[in-house]
Structure 1
Amino acid sequence: MANPANSSWNLESFLDSLIYELDKAQDTLSVKGLNRKLTYTVKDVTLDLQIFPEFDGDTVRFVTAKPGETGSSKLTFQLGSIRDHQIQEVTRKPPKQGEITIDDIDIPETERKELRKLGIQSTEDLKRTVEEKKVDITKATDNKVNYQDLASLINKAKRQQIPPTVNKAQVSQAQGQTILTLQGDNLAVAQSLDNFPVAVINNQPVKIIAANEKEVKIELDKNQLQREGNQLKIALDPYAVVTMNLQS
């Protein structure tokens, strides 16, 4: 009989863990195959488990038998062989440089595991699954993953990889208007977002008249500029806010 101190487990979590480990091994072989031809395969692997099944009327769980315990059942898994060309055909391509993986996203480990179960390892996998294959990730994970929340975290992770930099700020006059021009890199990279960029100077709203990755033009009211110094805050998108002190 089973020792009551033994921890029980269910078949789904066991298979999920087993498949995840096999996927990792397959991904490793895929990368290795780029540098060294695979010259051997593991033909067959058989895994025998001595277990005590438990059924509570709804869920089947198992307790692994320990040495000396009798009356257990035998559960056998047979893993077949796979050749190098099969690995190359069925294995996802290694992540490209700069590609955001799910390990780069600040999400709970439970959500990360759910995405891995679906074979989603990167933002490109997620985009292809949701936008091209039209899969409802929320339903596919039994409401364990919220796609809208996940998309927001992905955008934040992408922005962290390309932070904005301001190299130059210049005030000029054009057709009776006072224009503040910011020049730099990775400025307005998400121009499709409503209400962004948005800016204030000395806590007073100012108008953005043009914005792109390299340049942002802001229309100022002369009364908004102070002699002693001015503070500009500009939210380029929800994940990038720049604060600058300007001298008039």
Structure 2
Amino acid sequence: MTRDATLRLEDFIQAVQSQLDNAQAAMAIKARNLNLPLTFAIKDVNLDLRAHVDFVDSEIRIRPAAAGEKETSVFHLVFTAITRPAIEENAISFSTDPDDQPLDELGSELTTDERKRLEWAGVRTVKQFQEAEERGAVHTIGRVTNLPVDRLRKALERAAAPLVQRVEPVPPGVDRGALEPPLLRVTGRNLIRHGALPQVRIGDRPVSVLKSAPDELLLAPDDGQWAGELSLRSAPTLATAMSFDLEAFRPSPRPVSDPGDGTSVARATGIAPVPVEAGR
């Protein structure tokens, strides 16, 4: 750390906690391996820190003071023991959903300072942001964070935009009959909105949606819909598109029985049979 470098206050506290954890682990090893009848543990740690305080990008940053340096602030920190149940009860609940987006993915819709203000209000992920909208709490969040409601709604609209990540074939399997035609599976994010089926088109023609979920769709394409551009619209102003080519997985035409008059050939090829005159 250079002389003029600053450190986030939470990083400093985490560093001290980590070293105290290491000290506690070392004492535990000593007690277990040496079978000591009595040992000692740290209950409370008091620490006075003289530092300069800066406020950068909505973060408190500290720069430790040099020896004899004046006009510094004093931080009086007390570290005390805490049990696992107390940690679980009081710690911030972070999302365990791997598909939940952090607020950083909202891009330019919100500045770093605005995202930090949302975190202060307890909104740390896009899912929490959307749940707040569903509860009608956007105006409240705007007042608490001093952010314009219009900007919050624009950011929410961006967060709700659908995203197609993958299009893949689903061959007939155990769950479906062996003679069933193959289907298409679309995976992504925000594929449906408020439980309503999205409008899905392939090659400017609608395609049947057999199953829908926010992260997956099951489609039944026609013969000419195994390649091209897949477009999806989950709301009038929310749409996305993706090009794909799965022509190699397109099912072969089913054979048509021939009654002997050439009509099966006509159906299969689109060429009308030539009539044969009697006696020739």
Instruction: State the TM-score, normalized to the length of structure 1.
Output: 0.50
Greater radius of gyration (CA): 2
Instruction: State the TM-score, normalized to the length of structure 2.
Output: 0.45
